[in-house]
Amino acid sequence: MFASILTLGGIGLFAAVALGVAAKKFAVEIDPRELAVLDALPGANCGACGMPGCAGYAKAIVDGSMAPNLCTPGGSEAIEKIAQIMGVEAQSAEPQVAVVCCQGDNQKATLKYRYLGLYDCNAAQKIADGPKTCPGGCLGLGSCVRACPFDAIEITAAGLAVINRDKCTGCQKCVAQCPRSVIHMTPRLAETHVLCNSTDKGAQVRKYCQVGCIACQICKKNAPEAYQIENFLARVDYSHAAAAAAVAEKCPTKCIRDFSHGYPDGSSYGVPTPEKLRGEAV
Amino acid sequence: MKSALKNLKSFAGGLHPPDGKHFSAGKAIEICPLPEELVIPLAQHIGAPAEACVEVGALVKKGSPIAKAKGFVSVPIHASTSGEVIAVEPRLHPMGKHLPAVVIKPDGKDLWDDSLTGADPQDLNAAELKNRLQAAGIVGLGGATFPTHVKLSPPADKPIDTLILNGVECEPFLTADHRLMLEETERIFDGIDILRKILGITRAVIGIEANKPDAIELLTARGAARQIEVQALEVKYPQGAEKQLIDAITGRQVPSGTLPMEVGVVVQNVGTCAAISDAIRRGHPLVERVVSVTGPALVEPKNLLVRIGTSLQFLVDQCGGLNGTAAKIIMGGPMMGQTQLSLDVPAIRGTSGVLIFRQQDLPRYEAGPCIRCGRCISVCPIHLQPTSIAACARLDMIDQAAGYHALDCIECGCCTYICPATLPLVQSIRYAKAAIMAQKRTT
């Protein structure tokens, strides 16, 4: 018994010494700042910064090859923390959220044909440019939902993608997936948007969608600084958000939506958290 | 005759859907009258689309070029009647998009261009013949519309010893090639002679499915004197797919990712042969083709000789209209054809048929989960695993899909047809193929 204790103890002692020496001799030097930065990042590995994951981005920040303000999901909080760690001044990028610029679900917009194939927007788009008559409208087959790492997108019963403004971190994965480029990146603080993506003339839009922009110019006449019309499509100038919100109600087709009043019809998301409260909660 | 119908050759895999040939097989080819307007798209073949070379207001004759070939893998497009060009603009194309087209208002005289002259093929060498074929806009009329002169230009290190003529017409419903073989035998044989001269070979075999015994009998009897063999083939889809046809007739298997020239074979459709004969002997470019206008929704299904650019609505009117509401319009065969958005699209060079179905002709079930029955695997003529490739496509596992040889899929549709869960297998595989090709282009 004594011999076995000695043998096992001896093996244990030898292994401990060997491991201790190896740990010192072959130690990989990690900049402690790298671990601290990784800690400050949200850890979603979403790729919005351009690196495959948070660890890669943390390394790139520490060796100086990438700017510290590229993490959109982390927002200004993460950027400030990283700036502190790195000893630089925080230059926070304006936080952004993705918005589906379309309200024409399968009840409000017409279809060219009945699509029975693969449940995927990119597959449907390959067949005669998608089942929706509108060339820019949301197909509602959920390619963006599957791409979203934050569970921030839903498809309504009538087939329209809606992005949850509380959950969206602005990583842009959905933007990359959408075959019709109907998802746009917008400033988080802006609540008023033109939810239409059709560049057809008004008369044509009327034929296939009840809630499309018909370029009637009413919004522009009432708030010339807040709206521009390009290619028969109104767009909000987000630097004049208050003026844009003031005339949103005047839109005859209701394609201008003020999200502070609620999400598009059919969405289960209700009303977004007002921006002020959201800031406190974070 | 009886002996010809024994010893049927074929390939492994495939299936035989109800073929619906009875609708139009007995109907002789009729010449379709001139419509009010011809819409001739510039993209009608595989390769670079042609470039319009006429302007609005130009007067054209039947056979005058209206668009030039852009590159080697491209062919010109010709006016299919005489008249005035009234528009050069995007129009609804059978692909489902608005693509550039030349619109001609016929003058009713239907006069051929005087500058077109024929020649005796014996006086021309292979290069001259091929140039004439390209100038005449000859493409494969089986449906793929690959420019014929490209197919006839194998590299010097790939000797060709056999010409196979595709008279299989394995797609259900279509009868255009069947009628052509019965009615235009001489033109087909003349085209075969021209092809043999271009390729410098003597062996030519016509493959015909055993469900066309009249064509087998006629071509066997008349081909014997001209050293043209006829091989009867088992009635099975996709017997007319190029690689399956070569396997059945010669026993040679075309390796994955290569062309038939790899095993010394060139395959041409019988309809293309007739067009080749016209292009050389008479100098007439490809401005018309035989189209089977058929399906249970038509009052009187017909085989029509149609000018390129005639709208499908006009063709339907020639067949007595519809008995019911069209629920599905297919250009080509039901297995590989393209579903159309409306009848307001023109017939183009690849239009072998127009099929129209009513709602009651189309049983439809909701797609369910794969039950692992393996039927798609047993019918796949390429011996792929459609269900595995489709699963990879759904999960965007593109490398794995490539590992299952998705690129070898010929999109024949057997797997989708047989699937008891009615899964859109071919669409999934096409999706994977497109993703693999996109990945290849970027790396």
Q: How does pLDDT run across B363-385, given as a tens digit for each residue?
A: 777 888 999 999 999 999 999 99
Residue whose structure tokens are 């609005």: B56
Give the phi and the psi of residue A154 in degrees, each rounded to 5.
-130, 160
Residue B282 carries which DSSP code? Answer: I
Q: Which helix (H) or strand (E) holds B101?
A: strand B98-106
**The two three-digit tokens of residue B321, written as one number:** 């209209």
pLDDT band for position A281 (cuts 50, 70, 90) = very low
Q: Assess contact for A243 and A267: CB atoms under 8 A.
A: no
Q: Does A176 touch chain B (CB under 8 A)?
A: no
> At a CB cut-off of 8 Å and minimum separation 6, what does B199 contact?
B126, B152, B160, B163, B266
Tell me the residue type at B406: A
* Residues of A with Cβ-Cβ distance to B437 under 8 angstroms: none
Q: Assess contact for B392 and B404: CB atoms under 8 A.
A: yes
Contact B431 A118 (CB under 8 A): yes
**The two three-digit tokens of residue B9, written as one number:** 């050759």
Q: Does B427 touch chain A (CB under 8 A)?
A: yes
The alpha carbon of residue B6 is apart from the nearest alpha carbon of chain A, in Å, by 41
- Count residue pairs from A and B with Cβ separation < 8 A: 31
* Residues of B with Cβ-Cβ distance to A117 under 8 angstroms: 424, 427
**Pairing between β-strand B38-41 and β-strand B59-60 as defined by DSSP bridges:** unpaired
ipTM of the complex in this document: 0.82
Q: Does B95 touch chain A (CB under 8 A)?
A: yes
Distance in angstroms (rounded) separating the CA atoms of residues A248 and A260: 12
Give yes or no for residue A279 having a pLDDT over 50.
no
Query: How far does chain A reach from its first CA to its final CA, in angstroms?
Result: 62
Q: CA B441 from chain center: how many Å? A: 28
The alpha carbon of residue B437 is apart from the nearest alpha carbon of chain A, in Å, by 14
Peptide bond into B238 cis (omega under 30): yes
Q: Does B424 touch chain A (CB under 8 A)?
A: yes
Give yes or no for residue A282 having a pLDDT over 50.
no
Percent above pLDDT 90 for chain A: 53
* CATH number of B2-23+117-282, picked from 3.40.50.720, 3.40.50.11540, 1.10.10.10, 2.40.40.20: 3.40.50.11540
Q: Does A113 touch chain B (CB under 8 A)?
A: yes
The alpha carbon of residue B97 is apart from the nearest alpha carbon of chain A, in Å, by 6
Give the phi and the psi of residue B31 in degrees, each rounded to 5.
-85, 125
How many CB atoms neighbour CB B311 within 10 A? 20
**The two three-digit tokens of residue A235, written as one number:** 């767009």
Domain spans, chain A: 33-86, 96-281
Closest in B96, B341, B427 to A117, CB measured = B427
* Residues of A with Cβ-Cβ distance to B428 under 8 angstroms: 118, 123
State residue B199's pLDDT score: 94
Q: Does A123 touch chain B (CB under 8 A)?
A: yes
Question: Which residues are paired to B359 by β-bridges?
Answer: none
Dmax of chain A from CA atoms? 97
Helix B213-223 with B185-199: angle, nearest 10 deg: 60
* Residues of A with Cβ-Cβ distance to B430 under 8 angstroms: 126
* Residues of A with Cβ-Cβ distance to B431 under 8 angstroms: 118, 120, 122-123, 126
CATH architecture of A96-281: 2-Layer Sandwich (3.30)
Closest in B339, B341, B427 to A118, CB measured = B427
3-state secondary structure of B83: strand
Average pLDDT, chain A: 89
Give the phi and the psi of residue B96 in degrees, each rounded to 5.
95, 5
**The two three-digit tokens of residue B194, written as one number:** 């021209």
The alpha carbon of residue B113 is apart from the nearest alpha carbon of chain A, in Å, by 36
Mutating which of A118, A119, A133, A208 best tests the B interface, going by the most B Cβ atoms within 10 A? A118
Q: Does B294 touch chain A (CB under 8 A)?
A: no
Give the CA radius of gyration of chain A: 26
* Residues of B with Cβ-Cβ distance to A127 under 8 angstroms: 96
User: What separation in angstroms does the CA of A15 have from each of A8, A9, A25, B408?
Assistant: 11, 10, 15, 56
How many CB atoms neighbour CB B340 within 10 A? 24
**The two three-digit tokens of residue B191, written as one number:** 């085209």
Give yes or no for residue A277 having a pLDDT over 60.
no
The alpha carbon of residue B294 is apart from the nearest alpha carbon of chain A, in Å, by 22
pTM: 0.84
> At a CB cut-off of 8 Å and minimum separation 6, what does B392 contact?
B398, B400, B401, B404, B406, B432
Among residues B48, B71, B261, which one has the least CA distance to residue B151?
B261
Dmax of chain B from CA atoms? 63
Give yes or no for residue A275 having a pLDDT over 60.
no
Distance in angstroms (rounded) separating the CA atoms of residues B251 and B231: 13
User: What separation in angstroms does the CA of B332 have from each of A40, A122, B435?
Assistant: 60, 25, 26
Peptide bond into B18 cis (omega under 30): no
Question: Which residues are paired to A153 by β-bridges?
Answer: A163
Taking only the tens of pLDDT, chain B with its 443 residues reads 455 677 788 999 999 999 999 999 999 999 999 999 999 999 999 888 999 999 999 999 999 999 999 988 999 999 999 999 999 999 999 999 899 999 999 999 999 999 999 999 999 999 999 999 999 999 999 888 999 999 999 998 999 999 999 999 999 999 999 999 999 999 999 999 999 999 999 999 999 999 999 999 999 999 999 999 999 999 999 999 999 999 999 999 999 999 999 999 999 999 999 999 999 999 999 999 999 999 999 999 999 999 999 999 999 999 999 999 999 999 999 999 999 999 999 999 999 999 999 999 987 778 889 999 999 999 999 999 999 999 999 888 999 999 999 999 999 999 999 999 999 999 999 999 999 999 998 87
Topology of the domain comprising A33-86? 3-methyladenine DNA Glycosylase II; Chain A, domain 3 (1.10.15)
Query: How far does chain B reach from its first CA to its final CA, in angstroms?
Result: 56
Q: Assess contact for A194 and A213: CB atoms under 8 A.
A: yes
* Residues of A with Cβ-Cβ distance to B393 under 8 angstroms: 118
- Report the pLDDT averaged over residues A230-241: 92
The alpha carbon of residue A117 is apart from the nearest alpha carbon of chain B, in Å, by 6
pLDDT band for position A67 (cuts 50, 70, 90) = confident
Q: Does A128 touch chain B (CB under 8 A)?
A: yes
3-state secondary structure of B122: helix
For residue B175, how many C-alpha atoms fall within 13 Å in the half-sphere facing its CB?
29
**The two three-digit tokens of residue B375, written as one number:** 């039927």
* Residues of A with Cβ-Cβ distance to B339 under 8 angstroms: 113
Tell me the residue type at B243: K
Among residues A69, A243, A240, A86, which one has the least CA distance to residue A170?
A69
- Chain B's closest residue to A135, CA to CA, is B97
Give yes or no for residue A161 having a pLDDT over 90.
yes
Q: Assess contact for B85 and B66: CB atoms under 8 A.
A: yes
Strands (E), chain A: 96-100, 153-155, 161-163, 183-187, 192-194, 227-230, 233-236, 256-258
Q: Does A127 touch chain B (CB under 8 A)?
A: yes
**The two three-digit tokens of residue A148, written as one number:** 């979203």
3-state secondary structure of B339: strand
Q: Assess contact for A194 and A255: CB atoms under 8 A.
A: yes
Closest in B339, B364, B427 to A123, CB measured = B427
Give yes or no for residue A280 having a pLDDT over 50.
no
Residue B278 carries which DSSP code? Answer: I
Q: Does A32 touch chain B (CB under 8 A)?
A: no
3-state percent helix, strand, coil for chain B, nearest multiple of 5: 30, 20, 45
Q: Does A43 touch chain B (CB under 8 A)?
A: no
Closest in A113, A118, A126 to B424, CB measured = A118
Residue B340 carries which DSSP code? Answer: -
Give yes or no for residue A35 having a pLDDT over 70.
yes
The alpha carbon of residue B338 is apart from the nearest alpha carbon of chain A, in Å, by 10
